[in-house]
Amino acid sequence: MDAAGRLVIPREIRREAGLEPGVPLEVRWREGVVEIEPLPLAVTLRREGRLLVASPSDAVGTLGTRTVERARARIRGRTGRR
């Protein structure tokens, strides 16, 4: 942390957490631990036929291949499927 109170998050941690410049963060203090987490994306729900589809409320960038593959790997790890 610098004298102005700014905190630098190492690049590898930012990559693994999917933190991009401009992403709003929530910072909390809980039981002696500082937690930093991206704010959830605001969405609106709409029906498309029998499906309920979530669409971002604000404009968002396109997901990159790395982000999609990281999410797929996490999902596979939780369900045990390979």
pLDDT in tens, 35-67: 999 888 899 999 999 999 999 998 887 888 888
**For residue 60, with 0-12 CB atoms within 10 Å meaning exposed, 13-18 middle and 19 or more buried, which class applies?**
exposed
Asked if residue 6 is part of any domain, the answer here is no
Asked if residue 22 is part of any domain, the answer here is yes
Q: How many domains does the chain have?
A: 1
The verdict on pTM exceeding 0.95 is: no
Statement: residue 25 has pLDDT above 60: yes
Asked if residue 61 is part of any domain, the answer here is yes
- Going by the DSSP 8-state scheme, the letter that residue 18 receives in this structure is T
Tokens at residue 12, please? 């590898």
Statement: residue 78 has pLDDT above 80: no
CB 60 within 8 A of CB 74: no
Residue 20 has a pLDDT of 82
Statement: residue 79 has pLDDT above 80: no
Residue 43 has a pLDDT of 93
Element spanning 22, H or E:
none
Host domain of residue 19: 11-79
